[in-house]
A and B are shown apart, each in its own frame.
Chain A
């Protein structure tokens, strides 16, 4: 597995997933960390940060990915920022690495921190196509996989199915497919290439 994983863009890649409590960002961080660490054999550390509230309030997860042992487990210079709320986008855009990928929810983040931010409608698609707002986090993970190649889609799927409650396998697989599709459509818009034919797994 380890040999198959492509080399990382840097010695230490930092991913921050931020939004508000209840959007499943800590779970998303956990799934990403397990996908990369267990299924792709890299070193990984993940920390979570949340407020005292049961719901709402700021919530974030930070995942450090490396091929060497990780000393400091927090982000210091972020490579990938996912923001699912305006507050998160505003609060966590100050320590980005130049050229960092900023991925925001198109409808929940009206003012992305950069004109280069990638805005995709994770929550709206999760609600309209899958009737479950709660899988917006899964769509975002699939988009990270598609846009950065940091983690393989299969690894994500395995990690997610191992973590998520029984009975949600189909839903999660569809969410991953949809998230990847959103990201592919975005890439196609950027490059002007024709959209590849969708396989049955995409829906």
Chain B
């Protein structure tokens, strides 16, 4: 950490700064607790840099505007919370099928519906995966600290641009509103990936034709490249098709462009798992409590470790599988009724005992609660 540049930053501010660092030059949104600080920050900072900020009439329009801006060559982001995220699901599917890079921040709050706007929750984990209809791949990242808010927002943009897909940054109220002293990396220290644009003249451009990468090149609208964008399943030229071989090839490619990159997408952080007998698997704000529990438990001689999940979708199967190996039990604490435990169970496939620790009262799971549950497993 570069001490000299340390600043006290909130998770939401770090997300906005991460977006700017990744080259975000368009934001459309509708403020909502607990994500409003992102919108507020972007409304201040983007116009200063000569880029558009739009406050839309609702979240449906917000994501719509972002998709349009991205097609025109902008790096676009919107930020919302549960109720707005629900409204965005339709356009999220549209971005999926049209392969438009866009970053959607969902700062989770207690739900369903209006729920408890100022209280933390992790209830949108499965919504982020399956919220939009039709089978589709999803990339979802989950920060736990202020620095991770910054880093994963940069990663979200890089994934979106690289894979031509919407990427969701799934933060939670606690992470978004925690302030910490952090030193953010300088622009030169950050990897920024931009979409591949066509190198052929406009007349030769076939919008959805791919090379070995399975990811078509994206031309900026308004640059002379004319093409058709539709939510209908389309052929290489972007026009609707129902020809079996074209439809199947299209769906296969949509999945394959993500699934062939699973190893590249997997992101976890291991803390003292080498000799651990009991493992905690956690993500977001709960991972911080789990880390404290492991630290305190180790001081008291408990052989426990933590696997923190950062890339929650696609679920990091390989890392989780490796971490489960040889453990006597695995505890999955989360602020929902067990949405990630379900995934851990699937990967576990009967190897070891998987135990859930759930909470839905709007408060955090405290390190003591995790420790108490771990002791019961002894």
Contact = CB atoms under 8 A, between A and B. Distances in A.
Interface of A: 30, 33-34, 37-38, 41, 43-52, 70-74, 76
Nearest to B3: A41
Contacts, number: 59
B8 A37 contact: yes
Nearest to B179: A46
Contacts of B292: 71-72
Interface string B1-36: 001001110000000000000000000000001000
Contacts of B366: 72, 74, 76
A179 B43 CA distance: 37
Nearest to B294: A71
A72 B167 CA distance: 28
24 contacts: A34-B8, A37-B6, A38-B6, A38-B7, A38-B181, A44-B180, A45-B181, A46-B179, A47-B174, A50-B118, A51-B118, A52-B116, A52-B118, A71-B289, A71-B291, A71-B292, A71-B295, A72-B288, A72-B289, A72-B292, A72-B367, A73-B174, A73-B178, A73-B180
A201 B208 CA distance: 71
Interface of B: 3, 6-8, 33, 116-118, 174, 177-181, 288-289, 291-292, 295, 364, 366-368
Main secondary structure, interface of B, reads: mixed
A46 B116 CA distance: 21
B117 A52 contact: yes
A45 B178 contact: yes
Residue among A33, A51, A72 with most chain B CB within 10 A:
A72
A9 to B, nearest CB: 19
A73 B367 CA distance: 11
Contacts of A38: 6-8, 181
Contacts of B3: 41
B299 to A, nearest CB: 11
Residue among B8, B117, B118 with most chain A CB within 10 A:
B8
Contacts of B288: 71-73
A52 B362 CA distance: 13
A43 B183 CA distance: 12
Nearest to A74: B364
Contact of B8 (A41, A46, A47, A73): A46
A47 B178 contact: yes
A70 B118 CA distance: 23
Nearest to B114: A52
Given A33-B8, A72-B288, A45 B179 contact: yes
B181 A37 contact: yes
B291 A72 contact: yes
A68 B131 CA distance: 40
B102 to A, nearest CB: 29
Contacts of A45: 178-181
Q: Which 8 A-B pairs have the closest CB atoms?
A: A72-B292, A37-B181, A71-B292, A71-B291, A46-B179, A73-B178, A34-B8, A45-B180
